[in-house]
Structure 1
């Protein structure tokens, strides 16, 4: 059965640093875990939609993915670089009220459609691990939910880390912001070079 390799892939892909995890941790550090749940809810909804789209359109999209992957990676990488620069330049959270506008359900949802890590996660997991097992509606739905749940567990873990170590992270805020920005830059580069 391919469930163990699927879960291994899902856990590794979800818990490694990426845009959703870094943003969740940054928001939780600045605004607390509870207020970050709006963003995580949007991420969950957007991720589920992408997993469902990957499930139902994977066979249709497979001939076109090589043609659109390069452009999708470029756009996604440029956006991640923009986010990394914004995080590295951010001021202490008391003075940076504009960031609150991005800590919303709608931003979390829409961001998933610009997040190459989630899109590639869905396409890869569904095509490699799910389609060979079954293409029944029940299987596609259940695996889409499973992949989304693993991803949200990762987001919540990173947010909890940001919230629990809020005081320590605030003391070293500039270094923390630069580190998170550099991790986002690394995510952009690794997504671009992986394909």
Structure 2
């Protein structure tokens, strides 16, 4: 049985700290409100659950391939994070922006997880240290994946809600806010490459 305190601490700290999902959720909540950002959040949650399932079942295989795949994933993930930073910098304050034309879509949220290095590395780490050594049944692995996705849902929802609650305040300072969020994403991209 894993150390429950260590497991939950790792899960909550890692999930709630700034990363591409949380920063994008906050930006979407700020630009479109929480209700419209929910599409993105549900996409993130779906993609997150799929990644957790894959990490549970393919953990040993990924560890064997990681030296070869790791560099490629870091470059791809960092490039995508920088792309998101540029999208945030270029976004305007047009209130008529349609969520379909924005970054706030279910598909964007889901697909982002497959090249989000933080989620992939998190999945590998949490499954290899806290799940696979102790649990092997399909039901248990599925339930852990759902639990981890639910924590991800809570995290992105909190960040989106923060963006939505402070929407009026942040709309006055949209440009500095977007610059700060873009810089956080660029910092995330650089951190991945270290």
- Which bin holds the TM-score, normalised by the shorter protein? over 0.9
Measured at CA, do residues 192 and 99 of structure 1 come closer, stay the same or move farther in structure 2, by a change above 3 Å?
farther
Alignment of 1:16-35 (within 5 A): 16-35=17-36
2:150 corresponds to: 149
Question: 1:9: how far off?
Answer: 1.0
Q: Distance in 1 between matches of 2:99 and 2:140?
A: 42
Task: Give the TM-score taking structure 1 as reference length.
Answer: 0.93
Question: 1:100: how far off?
Answer: 3.5
Measured at CA, do residues 79 and 126 of structure 1 come closer, stay the same or move farther in structure 2, by a change above 3 Å?
same
Q: Distance in 2 between matches of 1:119 and 1:142?
A: 18
Measured at CA, do residues 98 and 146 of structure 1 come closer, stay the same or move farther in structure 2, by a change above 3 Å?
closer
1:7 corresponds to: 8
Question: 1:97: how far off?
Answer: 5.3
Aligned pairs, number? 193
Question: 1:149: how far off?
Answer: 1.2
Question: 1:103: how far off?
Answer: 1.4
1:38 corresponds to: 39
Deviation digits for residues 30-81 of structure 1 (CA, Å, limit 9, x no counterpart) = 1110111111111111100000000011122221112111110011001111
8 Å contact from structure 2 (residues 22, 160) kept in 1: yes
Extract unaligned runs of 5+ from structure 1: none
1:129 corresponds to: 130
Q: Distance in 2 between matches of 1:167 and 1:151?
A: 26
Measured at CA, do residues 18 and 165 of structure 1 come closer, stay the same or move farther in structure 2, by a change above 3 Å?
same
Question: 1:121: how far off?
Answer: 1.0
* 1:64 aligned onto 2:65: yes
2:139 corresponds to: 138
Alignment of 1:102-181 (within 5 A): 102-181=103-182
Q: Distance in 2 between matches of 1:102 and 1:81?
A: 14
**What SS is found at the alignment partner of 2:136?**
coil
Q: Distance in 2 between matches of 1:149 and 1:87?
A: 26
* 1:82 aligned onto 2:71: no
Question: 1:6: how far off?
Answer: 1.5
